[in-house]
Chains A and B, each alone.
Chain A
Amino acid sequence: MLNRLPPLKESPSQTAGPYVHIGMTPSLEGIGGPNRPDLGSGPIAAGDGPRVTIAASIHDGSGAPLGDAVVELWQADSDGVHRQGWGRAACDGAGAFAFDTVKPGRVIGPDGQPMAPHVSLWIVARGINMGLQTRLYFDDETAANAVDPVLSRIMDPRRRQTLIARRSEVDGRARYDLAIRLQGEGETVFFDF
């Protein structure tokens, strides 16, 4: 069974292109119609924990914001179980996007030990030939982050920091901010899961 080759090849990826919003956030483009919110827009259903904001921005190798990217988020709920914790957002002109969600609980990891709380992110845009997979962790989970099986595979501690969002409080609500850099100084760690 080991190393058996599958009978079919995965369809090759292609860029989502500059008009990805037509297909993935059509209401934002005025195509979806007034009574149809875009798929994955609005608050993410992820359990009963306190609502938090997850916010990030994406910049390219020259420091320019990705105003045309679409980001999808997948996460466990507050109990650490993946149910329907999914959302989709278009970046604004500053390359920024945000999700209204609940901080995920700890998910059982590869060795049966819990992973640190995290959300999975998937980024597509013009100029990205294959969707980029990354994760966002939380800086108020120092102990859990220190033993997380995925973070520990990142040998350079400075690179590990590219995945850890900073907590602040806005109007009594927690907000976590992350800067995603596709290339160059402070380049985000992307995964081949």
Chain B
Amino acid sequence: MSIVPPYGDEGQLYQRDRAWHPPADTPGYKSTTLRAPRQALLALGQTKSELTGPTFGHGIIQPLDNDLIRNFSQDGGEAIGQRLIVYGQVLDENARPVRGTLVEFWQANAGGRYRHKREGYVAALDPNFGGCGRAITDDDGYYHFRTIKPGAYPWPNGGNDWRPAHIHFSVFGHAYAQRLITQMYFEGDPMIWQDPIALAIPDRVAVEQLIARLDRHNTTPMDALAYRFDIVLRGRRSTLFENRMEGN
């Protein structure tokens, strides 16, 4: 069911492939049980309210926003942990770079502990680690930041469940209907395959899309390893007016 495309078919986004995303109710991840809508989502084509979205200029970004090793440091200290560069390209489904879009990220410290009032894990807080940052993608759709590798942590789900190391990502795109929150995992981590949240995604190939690859070419020698994590947002159905879609 879709309403007549409002402003020419070329403006519409591809419909979301709901089988690629986790369904709302995934019993292995218990918090979904009472929070998943029981009624089917009402599928409609996008209107201007969904095809437009907020834009954020480079003016909101401060110099240390993409440096989690130093952006919470007290007296010039640095966060403890395996130093990393995390970078990647934000693309749309048509493989075109999504430029000038805001990417936010947050994570636990090297011990797996979040700086949050409801956090109950015994691992120590790192006085020099806050755990959040943000960046705006460049003209080729790339973002990058410096951080430490987050630790795995236990959580109250099945009694003794542990989350694999991961970084949370929030991405805007240029249309409200592109808005996405996801998580990045690390190549080679066996814990991904026993994680009720990653496995809420039905297709193993889809889970693999969230696994960042170790990238030896972009390491900083004697300093930081690099991981590449590309993110794909919904794309526009038609490319007929390609040069007019810029910044849409």
Contacts and interface: CB of A to CB of B under 8 A. Distances in A.
A150 to B, nearest CB: 6
B4 A110 contact: yes
A14 B22 contact: yes
A52 interface: no
A187 B37 contact: yes
Contacts of A20: 106, 168, 181
Q: Pick the most buried of A23, A111, A120, A159: most chain B CB atoms within 10 A of its CB.
A: A23
A192 B3 CA distance: 12
Contact of B105 (A23, A86, A128): A23
Interface string B18-47: 101111101001011111111101111111
A122 B179 contact: yes
B42 A6 contact: no
Contacts, number: 254
Interface residues of A, number: 77
Interface in B26-71: 26, 29, 31-39, 41-50, 52-56, 60, 62
Interface residues of B, number: 87
Q: How would you classify the secondary structure of chain B's contact residues: helix, strand, loop or mixed?
A: loop
A91 interface: no
A170 interface: no
Contacts of A9: 17, 20, 93, 206, 209, 232
Nearest to B200: A129
A11 B180 contact: yes
A127 B234 contact: no
Contact of B201 (A12, A76, A107): A12
Q: How would you classify the secondary structure of chain A's contact residues: helix, strand, loop or mixed?
A: loop
A182 B93 contact: no
A191 B54 contact: no
Contact of B206 (A12, A21, A159): A12
A63 to B, nearest CB: 9
A169 B170 CA distance: 36
A16 B233 contact: no
Contacts of B114: 19, 22
A96 B28 CA distance: 28
Contact of B21 (A19, A61, A129, A193): A129
A6 B93 contact: yes
A74 B54 contact: yes
Contact of A109 (B24, B47, B54): B47
A129 B1 CA distance: 23
A109 B233 CA distance: 24
A1 interface: yes
Contacts of A12: 20-22, 182, 201, 206-207, 209-210
B214 to A, nearest CB: 19
B114 to A, nearest CB: 5
Given A115-B47, A153-B42, A13 B35 contact: no
14 contacts: A1-B237, A9-B93, A10-B16, A12-B21, A14-B168, A17-B183, A19-B168, A29-B115, A31-B72, A60-B35, A82-B52, A153-B44, A187-B39, A192-B41
Sorted nearest first, the 10 A-B pairs with minimum C-beta distance are: A127-B31, A23-B106, A6-B93, A86-B54, A127-B35, A82-B52, A192-B41, A129-B22, A110-B6, A14-B183
Given A21-B116, A22-B114, A122-B176, 6 more contacts: A6-B235, A10-B93, A11-B180, A15-B183, A111-B6, A127-B34
